[in-house]
Amino acid sequence: MLSFIRSGRARKAMAAALAATFVLSVAGCGQKQQQGGNKAALVKTMKVIKRDTPLVYDYTGFVQAQQEMELKAQVSGQITAKYFKGGDTVSAGQTLYAIDQRTYQANVLNAQAGLANARAALANAALNAERYSTLYAQNAISKQVLDNAIMQR
């Protein structure tokens, strides 16, 4: 091996290797100087706190009652009072609303007046039928007039 190193060819190879090593080491040192030396990197830090993390779940959906009832009024009118709050439980027969009674009282009075008028008309028709029966028996009126009076009664 010593004989190989003593040869001229080996000396040239060794010189080339040393030169390449020197050039690479000088080039590497030059790059470090161009970077400006060792700069400290900025790092964000925070203090660690040990605590329980609450679990929160958000869901999209809708709420539906187990039992539903459709509320329909049997009469019309203006509502004057409400006897429950939305979402309250109600039972059968419970009063839920009060409706203005003045309209219904006026309708009752009109119906009573109509009934009184009809009774008066009936009494008058009964008297006429009785009179015409007597007059027909006396042959003072025709059968048709008597039949009309009976039909009106």
Query: At 3, which helix (H) or strand (E)?
Result: helix 2-6
- Quote the pLDDT of residue 115: 96
Beta strands in 1-153 (DSSP E): 79-82, 97-99
**Across the 153 residues of the chain, what is the mean pLDDT of every consecutive 10-residue run?**
62 82 71 60 88 87 82 84 87 89 93 96 92 91 90 88
- Quote the pLDDT of residue 37: 59
Residue 101 near residue 79 (C-beta atoms within 8 A): no
Report domain extents, the chain. 2-33, 79-84+96-152
